[in-house]
Amino acid sequence: MPARILDGKWVRDQIFTSLKPRIGRLSRQPGLAVVLVGHDPGSEIYVRNKVKACEELGIYSEKITPPPDILTPDLLGIIEGLNERPEIDGILVQTPLPRQIDSRKVLAAISPDKDVDGFHPLNVGNLVANIPASRACTPAGIMEMLRRYEIPIAGKHAVVIGRSDIVGKPMALLLLHANATVTICHSKTADLAAEARRADILVAAIGRPEFITKDFIKPGATVIDVGMNRSSDGTRRLLGDVNAEHVKEIAGAYTPVPGGVGPLTIAMLMSNTVDAAERHLCST
């Protein structure tokens, strides 16, 4: 029986459909400010897609593009100005930032109630304690996908390959809160393939194209591929962290690249922005 494809676009469309009536009930448009420093091609594509999603949903979006050589104090001033604007519900600083910028200081300067990326230390603490707050968009989107495809999590063994603050760590915590038994693997893990083969749910977030082969996949497992890598053969094809042909043969369900996890990240950013707008308007 062929592996089931988990369609991120279908999940995104469901999330957007649920957001539209919530936006319509608000007394003003939700507002999202995106700060893009420099000219990273990947970042520019992401920001363009985020602005497009805002337009589709009726969310006010504002793109701020400081000069590439801006210094940390000046960028902090921009963030402070956005924190004080009541019509801006969410602030997103697109990473990676140029080397001269102290990224940690900038992300920590965003007001926690406007942190729609879920990266502020207070919101990370809320995640650890399982207190409602903005969650990191990609892991939150993956949880939505598992829920909407009715893939059981409680009591299952989940393996997360990757320990980044953006995906790996929050992914592991969300799965733990959903009562999975969770193993986090990384570059120093002994016998990585053997650890991965224990997974009922395998999340690959390591940034190495097609690194996960059939040797890593338990037959019937659900495989979530977070990787977005460009091929080095001159075609610039988009490749996941999982070998696509191998996963089709062995997994019970899997996310394709592209069209799997990617659409979920933007969908959850929109969801976090609407959540923030509802909180702000309820408190005024």
Token digits for 276? 């923030």
Residue 44: per-residue pLDDT? 87
CATH code of the domain covering residue 149 = 3.40.50.720
Spatial distance between the Cα atoms of 264 and 144, rounded to a whole number of angstroms: 8
With bands split at pLDDT 50, 70 and 90, how would you rate the model's confidence at 56? very high
Q: Is 177 within a domain?
A: yes
Among 37-41, 60-64, 136-140, 274-278, whose mean pLDDT is lowest? 37-41
Where residue 283 falls among pLDDT bands split at 50, 70, 90? confident
User: Do residues 45 and 154 share a domain?
Assistant: no
Rounded average pLDDT over 103-125: 97
Please report whether residue 165 resides in a domain. Answer: yes
Q: What is the mean pLDDT of residues 63-78?
A: 97
Cβ atoms of 4 and 134 within 8 Å: the answer is no
Confidence bin at 284 (pLDDT 50/70/90): low
Does any domain span residue 129?
no
* Residue 150 counted as domain residue: yes
Q: How confident is the model at residue 41 (pLDDT cuts 50, 70, 90)?
A: confident
* Distance from C-alpha of 164 to C-alpha of 218, rounded to nearest angstrom: 24
What is the rounded average pLDDT for all residues in the chain? 95
The pLDDT, as a whole number, for residue 46 is: 86
User: Residue 93 — very low, low, confident or very high, per pLDDT cuts 50/70/90?
Assistant: very high
Task: Name the pLDDT band for 248 (thresholds 50, 70, 90).
Answer: very high
pLDDT (0 to 100) of residue 276: 98
Residue 37 pLDDT level (bands cut at 50, 70, 90): very high
d(CA 167, CA 159): 13
For the purposes of burial, counting CB atoms within 10 Å of the CB of 258, is it exposed (0-12), middle (13-18) or buried (19 or more)?
A: middle
Q: Does 94 share its domain with 187?
A: no
Residue 115 lies in a domain: yes
Residue 233 has pLDDT above 90, yes or no: no
Residue 18 belongs to some domain of the structure: no
Q: What is the reported pLDDT for 230?
A: 84
Q: List residues with catalytic annotation.
A: 50, 94, 117
State whether 109 and 169 are in the same domain. Answer: no
Task: Band the pLDDT of 45: cuts 50, 70, 90.
Answer: confident
For the segment 237-257, the average pLDDT, to the nearest whole number, is 95
Give yes or no: residues 89 and 38 share one domain: yes
Average of per-residue pLDDT across 42-53? 90
Q: State the pLDDT at residue 195.
A: 98
Confidence band of 278 (pLDDT split at 50, 70, 90): very high
Q: Which helix (H) or strand (E) holds 164?
A: none
d(CA 269, CA 15) in angstroms, rounded, equals 11
- Range of 237's domain? 137-262
Kindly write down the DSSP assignment for every residue of 226-255, as one continuous string.
Answer: ---EE-SSSS--EE-SB-HHHHHHH-SEE-
Domain C-terminal end among 88, 123, 158: 123
Asked if residue 179 and residue 144 are part of one domain, the reply reads: yes
